[in-house]
Structure 1
């Protein structure tokens, strides 16, 4: 089997999907093979903590593309077959089933896995995480018979899932290790708004509370609250990049991620990296940026696909995310390395904008029902400009 002009994609998430699509759109004419350990073709993950969990979105709304997309674009999809080895000298990918896939270009888009804290009971089968479609189905099934749930972690996955479960009639307790949700990333002003929204949705939030352990998968030990009995435990305690394959292959990694340049090229010839697993150089920020956002994975995948096809593309768009907390939407763009000042601008109704600055330069913007500010803020962040006097 020859790999003279084959593009092998390792991963079944948004980065791999976007890379395959961009490769074809940029004129890439070689074979394309997408290898995934998942049992399903690439699908939407954002709905898993929201409308899919609540049963408002069906199975048919999850796939990123219909089945004929892959056939029409000449993309071979190999599922339920994990990649276990990468020979960068011989340009060959090895899978668990024993298959070999020679390549001209290879994309490592292995993503990340839920990080379980090193505490007693964290790996108990009744202690759930939410990352895959299978996780979403299992959580939804468990919620059907649950009267109460404890969610550890007040990031956006935790907050979104807490609201969804509460709307399903489950009594939800959210463990927030800080004084306010998302306080470190977004500041206390936004943290207070998130806390108010959660309480409006019937979620009980225990701030300043750490998870110490889970006994038998249901009895939750925390600090300072001694013990919580519950029917359902969900860990929303972050993710860990899946960089083992790259490390074993001798590809340069740092901070647990694969090093890549602004075109998603790694230290190994012909090997690219994109998505959560990559620490890629950002051309506008002029430094490598770690990101764990859906839209950024799509962008990085598009750049990798164009690079493999021989077309020009560099990473210049500022990273950011979108979150839907019930009916309340948040849009956020920022470089992600801190701010000196956060200025809240309240608009009509509940709408607001928060401008984040460092040394008077806009380094981030967060909006709720203020799309014009989001668009303007994105441009200011990318250009490294100060906030105009008249907002």
Structure 2
């Protein structure tokens, strides 16, 4: 193996865990992370929660000393101009860097709100986005959050905790209706509304004016602040420039995170990765899975065996409520709701086998659910 080491494009959890895993296997090889983000690597989940609520300023993933101690070069605010996979070089702001292995951990970007006035709305993906949103909330009395995914629900609850009058609007009658089902959506609605948020479902935004959001049912909502939490799209253009054919707008990779191009790996939101336990490729957008895939990519890039087999999953915090979800994420046949004294569990099955679990105050079900999903066994509610 030559001495050009690893080059990682992207400074999120996938990129950092790839660099760390590679460094642990190859302590003397060069490791460099390059990123278009100008901010020191940070944790995104707090941006819609305690950071937005003003309860913390520290969202760094690792302090500067962490990179120095591991001899990992960190180059921020840079634009990748060209990748030559034959020569194994990456040109960044006019400087060419050689590599033995390249990891694409380029993440995803928010989907713009494509309505008149959509350029007025705020988004929440980067630390700079988080600062803009928090600053706007300081002088706002009312807010409209567009999109009832988990980020939208979290952000709406956090804004309400700051004393704003918040309306959460979405085309689904209840949050996450298509993904999680009607009853789960109703319970999420209750958790969101318990924070003081008003949920308005079954509507679409048609336009945004200064201080107003117009809906397709003729309603106009007053809003000093408007946040669009309308999903993300993978940053896959670099992969396309290498001749990689995308699937579901993502980079197809094997379970070891290798792409069709020799020496190039991909991990995180940009990857469409084979999961050995699922027996198929999956698209995920969760922090834990990005970190896990990054570790696998870095280990594989160092010449060691590694493969992705974890059940994708994450936690979300809506106000004071922690909701946990694990699932293959590509559909189910039936959802079975189980009521508990102070919470609930939803078991998702396909052909009788557990393919997902959603819990609120039911940690035992969440933990056993991951095993049932992996082992393709039916849930307790079905036995």
TM range (shorter): over 0.9
Name the SS for the 1:297 alignment partner: helix
Structure 1 Cα separation of the partners of residues 382 and 255 of structure 2 = 35
- What is the root-mean-square deviation of aligned Cα atoms in Å? 1.6
| 2:203 and 2:215 in contact (8 A); partners too | yes
Corresponding position: 1:387 with 2:376: no
Corresponding position: 1:87 with 2:87: no
Name the structure 2 match of 1:119: 115
Name the structure 2 match of 1:48: 47
Corresponding position: 1:282 with 2:281: no
| 2:282 and 2:330 in contact (8 A); partners too | no
Structure 1 Cα separation of the partners of residues 201 and 381 of structure 2 = 36
**Residues 161-189 of structure 1, C-alpha deviation per residue, up to 9 Å, x if partnerless?**
00000010111111121111111111111
Name the structure 2 match of 1:190: 184
| 2:336 and 2:381 in contact (8 A); partners too | no
Give the Å deviation of 1:341: 1.6
| 2:169 and 2:203 in contact (8 A); partners too | yes
Give the Å deviation of 1:325: 0.6
Q: Which of 73, 79, 82 matches 1:76?
A: 73
Give the Å deviation of 1:390: 8.3
Give the Å deviation of 1:74: 1.0
Structure 2 gap segments, 5+ residues each: none
Name the SS for the 1:123 alignment partner: helix
| 1:3 and 1:101 in contact (8 A); partners too | no
Name the structure 2 match of 1:159: 153
Q: Which of 356, 359, 373 matches 2:348?
A: 356
Structure 2 Cα separation of the partners of residues 32 and 3 of structure 1 = 13
TM-score, L = length of structure 2: 0.97
Give the Å deviation of 1:24: 1.9
Name the SS for the 2:118 alignment partner: coil
Name the structure 1 match of 2:8: 9
Name the structure 1 match of 2:166: 172
TM-score, L = length of structure 1: 0.95
Give the Å deviation of 1:118: 2.2
Structure 2 Cα separation of the partners of residues 254 and 106 of structure 1 = 20
Name the structure 2 match of 1:102: 98
Count of paired positions: 383
Structure 1 gap segments, 5+ residues each: none
Name the structure 2 match of 1:306: 299
Give the Å deviation of 1:41: 2.5
**Residues 268-302 of structure 1, C-alpha deviation per residue, up to 9 Å, x if partnerless?**
11000000011111111111100011111001001
| 1:342 and 1:354 in contact (8 A); partners too | yes
